Amino acid sequence: MVHASVVLKRIKLGHSQNKQWPQIVASGAISWYAFLIGVQSSWMSPSVPKLISADSYIPMTFEETAYFAIFQSAAMIVFSFVGASIGDIMGRKRTCYLVSLLQLASWLSVGFARNVYVLHVSRILTGITDAFFLFSTPYYISETTEKHIRGRMGILITLSFSVGVLFINVVGYYLSIPSAAFVMAAVTILHFSIFIFMPESPYWLVQRNRSDEARQQLQLLRWREDVDKEFAEISEAVRKQSVVKGSYKELFMDECNRKALIITLATRVAQQSSGYSAVNNFLQLIFAQAGGGIERHVSASICALVSGATCLGVTLIIDRYGRRPLILISSGLTSTILFAISLLFYFKFSYNVHIADWLPLLFMITYIITQSMGLAMIPSLTMGELFSAHVKCKAGLIINVTHGSMKIFTAKTFQVMVDNVGLYSPFLVFGSTCLVFTLILYCIFVETKNKTLDEIQIILRHDH
């Protein structure tokens, strides 16, 4: 790893004002982990139809493939207990090193797999990757960027995830499962070789009493020698937050932390209740069952492309209009389109009503747009923004366990309801729960746009 002091001796920093490009580069580099997570999370989309086909090299049933999502989420839950400690002990950047190692091991497992058990191992490794990722990337971005661009940089996570979904839906369709895995192993190695040059979080370094290193990293991130004012603000924020010990008791007993936990849990459950992970896992299968003249991988790729484009558009407005209106509009509209999708599939399969070939794709594109407007991205932002430094990883543990449990529940619900009721039924359930959480978020969600992390703590403490 290149030490910041060595870099600072060889470059000339500015004096007058902060530069944004180093923050953008650092945020982009760590958000590439989200691209790799998006590929891993959506690996099932092109792979499940191949594995349940008659000529599969590892024959499986649809019910058996549902356990891929279950094993992945279960591993994320279990290893969140490890990730909570590692995130605080090793720091945001070094935790990402573990993510790279696990991602490489997961892809090599898929590449060399010749039976279902090795594929299950790869899913378990992916779940461990998810756990460590969620304890590093959102926190890194929130702690390294300035308040007026933090929202836009945070959305890079969701944007990169969407690009990953698009990538695997295309590559996974045209390449064999092992070949696609080896391609992703090479991409993982390439990304790691770039990310090692990124700075560490100044907040975390101050928290670990490494002030000199923290100042140097902040100078690199702002590309400016004089960072005394901001460094003093960071030090004071960490000092005030450290008065409250980072225990689970304080997480629930402290009013500020309790509110942050409730809001973040609600956004995560709302996200998964809208079918976010379940639909991504079975996207190509949904289009295959829906029928029509459009190839399943083309429809899935269009959805992923639309998701990325929507996230990119939101980056232009989130720091102007705020998080609260976006997540409320997103949740309300997503609930509406889920009911519409349910009705579409109900009449198509229950009454053999003829529908245009393009109609399922249109409805799914609308669903992707409404979800990407807020539900897909804001839960990651709240994790990084709402919690004080000393309880972030402990709060993250509770959130990740809840997140993983909801992913298991929605994946299994989707499979069971499709097999026993019909393709329309899980969308009806997702629409109903999404509607409920729209009302909950309306009552509890607080605005954080253009606020420092310390100012957000003050808002939570005095918001009634």
Instruction: Indicate the range of 249-258, 268-277, 330-339 predicted with least confidence.
Output: 249-258
Which tens digit of pLDDT belongs to each residue from 67-79? 898 899 899 899 9
pLDDT above 70 for 307: yes
Phi and psi (nearest 5°) for 49? Answer: -55, -35
Quick: pLDDT tens for 36-47. Answer: 999 998 898 899
Categorize the per-residue pLDDT at 112 as very low, low, confident or very high, splitting at 50, 70 and 90: very high
Mean pLDDT of 285-297: 82
pLDDT confidence tier of residue 342, bands split at 50, 70 and 90: very high
Position 10 pLDDT exceeds 90: no
Average pLDDT of the chain is 86
User: Could you write out the DSSP letters of every residue in 217-234?
Assistant: HHHHHHTBS--HHHHHHH
Is residue 277 a contact partner of residue 426, using CB atoms and an 8 Å limit?
no
Count CA atoms closer than 13 A to 121's CA, side-chain side.
15
What would the mean pLDDT of 384-392 be, rounded to a whole number? 75
pLDDT tier for residue 15 given thresholds of 50, 70 and 90: low
**What domains are there in the chain, each with its CATH number?**
20-198+244-462 (1.20.1250.20)
Q: What is the pLDDT of residues 180-199, one digit of tens each?
A: 999 999 999 999 999 999 99
Give the mean pLDDT of 108-117: 94
- Across residues 391-396, what is the average pLDDT? 78
- Residues 95-101: what's their mean pLDDT? 92
Mean pLDDT, to the nearest integer, of 75-95? 85
Mean pLDDT of 447-453: 77
What pLDDT was estimated at residue 118?
95
pTM beyond 0.85: the answer is no
Share of the chain above pLDDT 70, in %: 94
pLDDT band, residue 251 (cuts 50/70/90): confident
The answer to whether 281 and 69 have CB atoms below 8 angstroms apart is: yes
pLDDT in tens, 203-225: 889 888 888 998 989 888 888 88
Token representation of residue 380: 């990651």
Q: What are the C-alpha distances in Å from 373 to residues 137, 157, 291, 314, 366? A: 20, 14, 27, 7, 11
Among residues 315, 334, 318, the alpha carbon closest in space to that of 326 is found at 318
pLDDT at position 189 is 96
Percent helix, strand, coil in the chain, to 5, is 80, 0, 20
Q: Is the pLDDT of residue 463 over 70?
A: no
Give the pLDDT confidence score for residue 166 in this predicted structure.
86
Query: What is the per-residue pLDDT across 169-178, written as a single tens digit (0 to 9) for each?
Result: 889 989 999 9
Listing DSSP states for 199-211 in one string gives: PPPHHHHHHTT-H
DSSP calls for 363-428:
HHHHHHHHHHTTTTTHHHHHHHHSS-GGGHHHHHHHHHHHHHHHHHHHHHHHHHHHHHT-THHHHH
The whole-number pLDDT of residue 244 equals 59
pLDDT at 183: 96
- 135-159 mean pLDDT: 81
pLDDT at 339: 96
Position 1 scores a pLDDT of 47
Confidence tier at 21 by pLDDT (50, 70, 90): confident
pLDDT of 464 > 60? The answer is no
Q: What are phi and psi of 358, to 5 degrees?
A: -85, -10
In this prediction, residue 41 carries a pLDDT of 86
Helices 283-290 + 44-51 axis angle, to 10: 60
Region 419-432: what's the mean pLDDT? 93
**Distinct helix (H) and strand (E) counts, the chain:** 24, 0
Residue 3 has pLDDT above 60, yes or no: no
Residue 436: pLDDT over 80: yes
